Amino acid sequence: MDANLFTGILNALSFVNLGFALIGCLLGTLVGVLPGLGPASAMAILLPIAVYLPPDGAIIIMAGIYYGAMYGGSTTAILMNIPGEVSSIVTAQDGFPMTKQGRAGQALAIAAIGSFAAGILGTLAISLIGPAIADLALRFGPPEYFGLVLFSMTALISFAGNSLVLGLGIAALGMALASVGADPLTGAQRLTFGSIEFTKGLDIVPVLVGVFGIGEVLYSASMDTQKVFSGKLGSWWSMIPRGRELSAGLKAAMRGTGIGFVMGLLPGMLPALTAYLAYDVEKRVSRTPERFGNGAIEGVASPEAANNATAMAGFIPLLALGIPTSPALAIMLGTLMINGLTPGPMLFEQQGLLVWTVIGSMLLANMMLLVLNLPLVGVWAKISQIPYSVLGPIVLGVCVIGAYAPRNTLFDVWVAIGFGIVGYVMRRYHMPVAPLVLGFLLGPMFEQSLRQSLALTGGNPLFMIDRPIAFGLCLAAILVVAATAYFKTKSKVVQGLVEDSTNEA
């Protein structure tokens, strides 16, 4: 009998494979909660163990760690404004305000539900259209990536706050910081100021931990915060969103899933970037965009679904073409090769049962993660009621460990402390933090795609004219910026007329 999704689910339901999936999910959730470690680091640490496991078990446990971390990363982002994973930065935009309003349970619940929906839909898409559409990713060259990054930059308008000029300036600073270290194309050293430590560049983890984690602790201490939330919390069941709030969250999760899955097919398109893009789209389609940043449930559901859908979509080019789209999936590629498996078009033919077993385990693992996370929302929500005199030092300790762990160097700890001060100052003077991180993430992709495109076309600045996809993306970016400027201007005019009529009355 030919292998298919049904036979894969049956094989994944074996006691051993269920055990591997459960272990992976638990480890991934723990990794996601701890700032700085990340799925790639955890998978790299456990990679030698994969040699001693059966091929399907090794892949199932690694996959569980990967998308388990996508779930867990939102927990500390929502409760303490400290993203456990880079992709959870956007979740904190509305998740933490919900916590301060006593709605931590609702935020955690919709994050789990949105992640579950994205995981299930993403897995089904892998099984239905994976092998057929994987080759679409091969059509993207440097010009197409330049167009995609340019379009992604339109999200800066949403995150810039009240002053677009200030937001763009902060994003430009983030891009400049990302260029510290070796030139990716020539190897020349840039902005190192003669320091050996700077030659390695600035890693995203200490920057993230500093700006969000240490910066948040310093700001809360300066404001003499006693607790994140001092009111009463109900049972975990009462924290599950219902009615209109649940409907809004689910619709946002569906839109985020679509964006995250399509973008996740492209190499280098990290979950953090698709989360930013999904949030930006959600804010644009909303009739009340002013709620975003102040506790909008859609602002939690959409980016969480997007980053999970991106994680799932990455398995298509990995299995069908052997192309990893992220560092974590590069380690997954190593896991496959250690077990004597060669990813590519023939993998579905030669190892059909194994591939479908892994896909079937993804469905089961996403169900496990929902069962594990949803009843715990009440437990996690209670963290918001711990006195800050106790919680603050614990968070600082975790941040220091998180900054040190990725590269095992004290230099990254000092970087985290420095960016902690930057984060405090930005909060103190009400400057938007998100553009700094978005610029840091997009900077390397923007520079490389632009320089490679110019090199391919002999320095022609209009290189996208002959590339329909690249031209379409650049045109879409221009239209989005123009439309946003028009509607902002129109809303200001309307607001001015309303104020004038009120004053006359």
Alpha carbon distance 191, 447 (integer Å): 15
Q: What is the pTM of this model?
A: 0.75
Q: Give pLDDT, residue 502.
A: 46
Query: CA angle 492-151-261, nearest 5°?
Result: 115
For the chain, the residue count is 505
Number of domains making up the chain: 1
401 or 500, which is more confident: 401
In this model, does residue 115 exceed pLDDT 80? Answer: yes
In this model, does residue 121 exceed pLDDT 80? Answer: yes
Q: Give pLDDT, residue 495.
A: 47
Alpha carbon distance 479, 333 (integer Å): 39
Summary mean pLDDT of the chain: 79
Backbone angles phi, psi at 94, to 5 degrees: -115, -20
> Number of H helices and number of E strands within the chain?
23, 2
Q: Choose the weakest-confidence range: 185-194, 229-238, 492-501.
A: 492-501
The whole-number average pLDDT for the span 197-214 is 82
Structural tokens at position 373:
């996370």
Q: Give pLDDT, residue 497.
A: 41
Contacts of 297 (CB under 8 A, 6+ apart): 94, 98, 106, 107, 110, 241, 245, 248, 249, 252
Q: Does residue 95 contact residue 74 with C-beta atoms inside 8 Å?
A: yes
The H-or-E segment that residue 182 falls in is: strand 181-182
In this model, does residue 143 exceed pLDDT 90? Answer: no
Structural tokens at position 288:
């009340």
Q: Give pLDDT, residue 228.
A: 62
In this model, does residue 298 exceed pLDDT 80? Answer: yes
Q: Which is nearest to 107 in space by CA: 309, 295, 248?
A: 295
Q: Give pLDDT, residue 418.
A: 93
Per-residue DSSP letters for 51-90?
Answer: GGS-HHHHHHHHHHHHHHHHHHHHHHHHHHS--SSGGGHH
Q: Give pLDDT, residue 485.
A: 67
The number of beta carbons lying within 10 Å of the beta carbon of residue 195 is 12
Share of the chain above pLDDT 90, in %: 5
Per-residue DSSP letters for 440-503?
Answer: HHHHHHHHHHHHHHHHHTTT-TTGGGG-HHHHHHHHHHHHHHHHHHHHHHHHHHHHHHHHHHHH
The whole-number average pLDDT for the span 284-313 is 88
Task: Identify the three-state secondary structure at position 39.
Answer: helix
Q: Does residue 325 contact residue 318 with C-beta atoms inside 8 Å?
A: yes
pLDDT in tens, 144-174: 888 878 877 877 776 776 777 888 888 889 8
Domain enclosing residue 294, as ranges: 5-504
In this model, does residue 315 exceed pLDDT 50? Answer: yes
